[in-house]
Amino acid sequence: MALLTGHLNVQADAGEFSGRTTFESLGLDSLSLMELVVAAEEEYGLVLPENVLDLRPSSTLGEVARAFEHVR
């Protein structure tokens, strides 16, 4: 959640985040999602393959968490 609140300035309380929360409901568009991917790669030293993480505004935080679990 630090990436959302810190890098993308999402204004939300921790209680508003759940596995079913969509990026769209947080006010994020496709460009914001690309910024999130870049921030995650830089922050955690990852390179996310395109087939692992196909983000779109309707993606949920749960979907993204599961995709990150498979990246090492």
Locate the domains of the chain by residue range. 2-69
CA-closest candidate to residue 54, choices 43, 66, 42, 44: 66
Please give the share of the chain, as a percent, with pLDDT higher than 70: 92
CA–CA dist 45, 30 (Å, integer): 22
Instruction: Measure the CA–CA gap between 9 and 46, rounded to whole angstroms.
Output: 22
Class of domain 2-69: mainly alpha
Instruction: Please determine, for residue 49, whether its predicted confidence score (pLDDT) is greater than 90.
Output: no
Query: Residue 36: how many CB atoms within 10 A of its CB?
Result: 20
Model pTM score: 0.76
